[in-house]
Structure 1
Amino acid sequence: MVVCGDDGLAYRLAAELRGVHGEQVTLVVPPNERTARPPVVGRARAASALLDRVVSATVGRGGAPAPPAAAGGGGGTGERVLEAAELTEAVLAEAGVERAAALALVHDDDETNIRAALTARRLNPRLRLVLRLYNRRLGQHIEELLDQAAALAYGDDGEEGAEASTTVLSDADTAAPALAATAVAGTSKVVQTEGGLLLRAVERLPSADGRLTGHGLCTLALLSGNDPAGAGGSAGGEHEPRLLPDDDEVRQTTGRGAIVLEQVSSTGGPESAAPGRGVAGVPSLASLFSRRLRWSLAGMVGCVVALAVALWVVTGIHPLSAFYLTLLDLFAIDDPAIGAPLGRQILQLLSGLVGLLLLPVLLAAVLEALGTFRTASGLRKPPRGLGGHVVLLGLGKIGTRVLTRLRELNVPVVCVESDPEARGLATARRLRVPVVLGDVTQEGVLESAKIHRAYALLAVTSADTTNLEAVLYARNVRPDLRVVLRLYDDDFATAVYRTLRAAYPQALTRSRSVTHLAAPAFAGAMLGRQVLGAIPVERRVLLFAAVDVAGHPQLEGRTVREAFRAGSWRVLAVEGRADTSPSHVLEKGDRVVVAATRRGLAELR
């Protein structure tokens, strides 16, 4: 396996292939990249120092977390490291692309990955290619182009070129669903197969007697004690999380939550249990007019009604006529009450005075409404009275995908972004999501995003210290606020989770490393497996993959019940069958959807 990249995903992917799947890996990085990684750790140390000061003040203990080791460093067993400024043909040849089974191009630049993929396909048409591309539409065209090139290289000899494939993935697309789901309690984590089967994993808490109720299709994982699903670390609970337990273990377990699999439907889109509180698109009355203006208009309407009733009582005319005359007086239409009774004249003067007061109120309403509609195509501000929303920090590559996912779940969002040219602002404008432009570390920015009334805070900027500082500040404002923060290094993410959980035991804290969430999907694609999705279970990952039964002695000729191996894999469904019975015998032509641990999926090779 050859991995080419310039950031943490390359190191995590190489470690995944070598440590979990036992592959021989050649890692190609820019010059001095292995020595350039320590500043990232240094950034984590700076954030650790900030964290230590908070912990010392809250729980009376410090101690900086140990700096994470650079993944893939040291040139350990089964790994070779090359340094190259550019991925030229000579560099790819030196890396062994001509003899490799698979090549992963995970540079942060789409153009670099595409150029190297075209060269690699020419060097080795049988090569299995995995590309990291942010532009999904371009990625579809690149897949078709490179697969067509592999087919033409062998002409009609399809057997030799059968191994060749091209898979385009995005770490943002892989990690965004997990980040969005973690920010919202009860949100379904959905996996969709090619046949339209929709499966979702949901959390089940134990009942009053400690037993689990409602096991769904099957139990995917038992959680560590007192640690909800998707938490940032497994240590510190009463038990370690148990992936893919057998039914006897589930029945005997007490006092632990579980991740349970449910079937949503065989067609249609995924369902969501997200606590959305409003539909984006049509602005509400509250977003058009301020509260003070609405109260002023209501007061004016009350005055008009009172004057009309008074005129009706004083003069005895018909109520509709009284209301009509009051409006004439209100709008200064010339109908003086000369020769009329004194009461009528006094009411006319009062109506005229109310009309003078009404004029600036109407003008303010018009100007405010016009201003709202004029900025509808621009960035919206958080509406007054907003509550129960998710505050999203950062509209970069990851933040944009998370924003799209949250809006698909109908979750109200307020974004905070410091860069007025950020790529996600166009998406926020299209989705009509309120945005606060400003540095989140500055005082007053989170307040503008209504953090004191927010449901959760999701910090996904590219700077670890910014995410951590924002979370700590938000916790000062709302100690019970649910927070999810993206951190570059997985070890540091675990340390942050444990410390924040100790400092705020009553609040829900989640820490996520994007490379930790994305690497299993990239590794699975390099090994020729169709990884449908990945669900984080605390600090572990459970993979969903489509596997052909043919050639697998652990599957072929066995029933669905016999094919289950606790702690490794479980057959969830057979594609093409609406209902999969545990007694169904898996045959050579079947294609099954399995939930597996990373090691379990490696064993299925």
Structure 2
Amino acid sequence: MVGIVDRGRAAETRESSPEPIGDLDARIARRHAGFVATARRLSRTGWVLVRGTAGILDRRLAVVGALFLLLIATSTLVFDLYLGVSLLDALYFVVVTFATVGYGDINLLEAPAPLKLFGIVMIIVGGLVLALVFGLVTDAIVGVRVARALGQHPVPRRDHVIVCGVGKTGGRIIEALVEAGVPCVAVERDEAAIDSALIKRLRVPLVVGDASSEETLDSLRLGSARALMAMTNDDMANLQCALLAHAQAPRLRVVLRLFDHDLATRVERATGIHLSRSVSSLAAPAFVAAIFGRRAAAVLPIGNEVLQIVDLTAERPTDVSALEGACQARVLAVNGTAFPEPHVPVAPGDEVRVVGTVRGLADLERRVVPSAAGDDANERDETAR
């Protein structure tokens, strides 16, 4: 009994004591944030559903809708001319006839035989078209819900990137596109090579089919896409896919992955595809940098050249102008200061970030880090001995 009384007094004390203003504001803010997050989630879900449904119904519903409007306009003009009623009354009669509702105030009992025959055809065709519209809408809504329940997503209508090949390279590209907020579509013909966990986690539309076939490209909305990236492990498949896509959509930006550097060069010269990349030519500078102990920050393909951004630690005093004038490289930063002036000195121990070709970086490294060149010379002497 004592415990019950104590708990009752404690409850009364809590009810009588005012809640701190700070705690109350925090609770209100948290509750408001929860409401806002829920509203955004619901609106985003509804917008995705509407966008997916509109994407599926885009062509078929446009054709059926145009046919339905043409039938309404034709029927309205016919009844306006032969029944002697106004356009509004004729439109009213057509609408109530299609909808099988009305008050019977307008009918074709006293109309001539040709007009009655036209009315019969109008009723039959209008009923079929209206049923087709309802069927398309219902099928699309149910199809979108079933696809989302199975983890599938519709292809975006426009401004999307088509990634052909969902291997390691294609998967990383898709991850980068999703992180950047760019809508994309994954295409893979080998179901065993698909990383289902990645596709489900990123919620990316997946099309299983051959990207080098016209049927598959038609289903990807190629004409309204932003770019196409052929990233499979087969050079010929990538080339065929890129050429077919370029032929169907000449303004489409096409990025082509090739393992043969000579083939990539010939493709750029012979076709209008100017974004073909050789994997070996991109990877070779990174391996060379690792051999010489350079800290490669990035590899940049510029035309037929491959530039590297590396970080070096100076061991000899010099300045920026001397470094840039003696080799094919540019100094980007010294000790974190971006784009230094030519007269800025470089002291031993300074961190220098530079960009250049493999040969230019090698020349620059001999001036900034002479010990590396000396070590290489010593190693060559020992090997010769």
Q: Among 291, 294, 309, which residue is 1:544 paired with? A: 309
| Residues 177-576 of structure 1 aligned to structure 2 (within 5 Å) | 283=51, 287-305=55-73, 307=75, 314=83, 316=85, 319=88, 323=91, 326-333=94-101, 335-337=103-105, 342=110, 352-357=123-128, 358-376=130-148, 378-380=151-153, 391-406=162-177, 413-428=184-199, 433-439=204-210, 458-462=229-233, 466-472=234-240, 475=243, 484-487=256-259, 493-498=260-265, 500=267, 504=270, 507-508=273-274, 510-513=276-279, 516-518=281-283, 520-521=285-286, 524=289, 529-537=294-302, 540-548=305-313, 551-553=314-316, 555=318, 558=319, 560-574=320-334
**Correspondence for 1:598 among 358, 361, 379:** 358
Aligned-pair CA distance for 1:417: 1.0
After TM superposition, give the deviation of residue 341 of structure 1 in Å. 7.2
- Tell me, in whole angstroms, the C-alpha distance in 2 between the residues paired with 1:350 and 1:447: 36
Question: SS state of the match for residue 55, structure 2?
Answer: helix
1:549-596 CA-to-partner distances (Å, cap 9, x unmatched) read: xx43254xx2x3233244343212346546633333446686443113
Q: Do 1:416 and 1:436's aligned partners in 2 also have CA atoms closer than 8 Å?
A: yes
Whether the 8 Å contact between 1:281 and 1:431 is mirrored in structure 2 is no
Instruction: State the distance in 1 between where 2:131 and 2:333 align.
Output: 68
By relative contact order (CA 8 Å, sep 6+), the higher-ranking structure is 1
TM superposition shift of 1:367: 0.7
Contact 2:167 2:194 in 1 (8 A): yes
Letter in 2 for 1:593: R
- 1:237-276 deviations in Å (ceiling 9; x for gaps): xxxxxxxxxxxxxxxxxxxxxxxxxxxxxxxxxxxxxxxx
For this pair of structures, how many residues does the alignment match? Answer: 308
Structural RMSD (CA): 4.7
Structure 1 residues 96-122: Cα deviation after superposition (integer angstroms, max 9, x where no partner): xxxxxxxxxxxxxxxxxxxxxxxxxxx
CA distance in 2, matches of 1:459, 1:424: 17
Instruction: String of CA shifts for 1:504-525, please: whole Å, max 9, x gaps.
Output: 36554724125x5346446656
The DSSP-based 3-state class of the residue aligned with 1:553 is: coil
Is the partner of 1:571 in helix, strand or coil? Answer: strand
The answer on whether the counterparts of 1:485 and 1:510 sit within 8 Å (CA) in structure 2 is yes
Amino acid at match of 2:135: L
CA deviation after TM superposition for structure 1 residue 340, in Å: 7.9
Distance 1:432 1:475 in 2: 29
Equivalent AA in structure 2 for residue 471 of structure 1: L
Q: What letter matches 1:375 in structure 2?
A: A
Shift of 1:415: 3.4
Give me the whole-angstrom Cα distance separating, in 1, the residues matched to 2:223 and 2:68: 33
- What is the CA-CA distance between 1:383 and the residue it aligns to? 7.0
C-alpha displacement at 1:332, in angstroms? Answer: 1.3
Counterpart Cα distance in 2 of 1:419 and 1:323: 55
Identity of aligned residues (%): 27
SS in structure 1 of the partner of residue 169 of structure 2: helix
Residue type of the alignment partner of 2:279: S
TM-score normalised over the length of structure 2: 0.59
Q: Shift in Å at residue 535 of structure 1?
A: 1.0
Structure 1 segment 39-188 matched on structure 2, within 5 A: none
Contact kept in structure 2, 1:418 and 1:438, CA below 8 Å: yes
Relative to structure 1, is the Cα distance of residues 441 and 352 closer, same or farther in structure 2, using a 3 angstrom cutoff? closer
Letter in 1 for 2:324: F
Query: What residue identity is the alignment partner of 1:573?
Result: A
How far off is 1:543 after superposition?
A: 1.4
* Structure 1 segments unaligned to the other structure (5+ residues): 1-279, 488-492
Residues 396-405 or 466-475, more deviating: 466-475
What CA deviation, in whole Å up to 9, does each residue of 1:269-321 have, x standing for no partner? xxxxxxxxxxx9973676221524311112213433554566677465793x7
Partner in structure 2 of residue 583 of structure 1: 343
Matched position secondary structure for 2:322: coil
Deviation string, structure 1 residues 124-182 (Cα, Å, up to 9, x no partner): xxxxxxxxxxxxxxxxxxxxxxxxxxxxxxxxxxxxxxxxxxxxxxxxxxxxxxxxxxx
Distance 1:288 1:309 in 2: 33
Match of 1:62 in 2: none
Q: Which amino acid aligns with 2:340?
A: T
Residues 396/340 of structure 1: CA separation in 2 closer, same or farther (3 Å cut)? closer
Structure exhibiting the larger radius of gyration computed from Cα positions = 2
Contact 1:326-1:348 at 8 Å conserved across structures: no
> How far apart, in 1, do the equivalents of 2:357 and 2:268 lie?
26
Distance 2:338 2:273 in 1: 41
Which ranges in structure 2 are unaligned for 5 or more consecutive residues?
1-47, 370-385
Alignment CA distance shift 1:290-1:429 (3 Å): farther
Q: What is the CA–CA distance in structure 2 between the aligned matches of 1:360 and 1:524, rounded to whole Å?
A: 64
Deviations 1:18-57 (A, max 9, x none): xxxxxxxxxxxxxxxxxxxxxxxxxxxxxxxxxxxxxxxx
1:598 is matched by which residue type in structure 2? V
Distance 1:423 1:552, change over 3 A: farther
Q: Distance in 2 between matches of 1:472 and 1:299?
A: 38
User: TM-score, normalising length from structure 1?
Assistant: 0.40
Q: CA deviation at 1:396?
A: 1.1
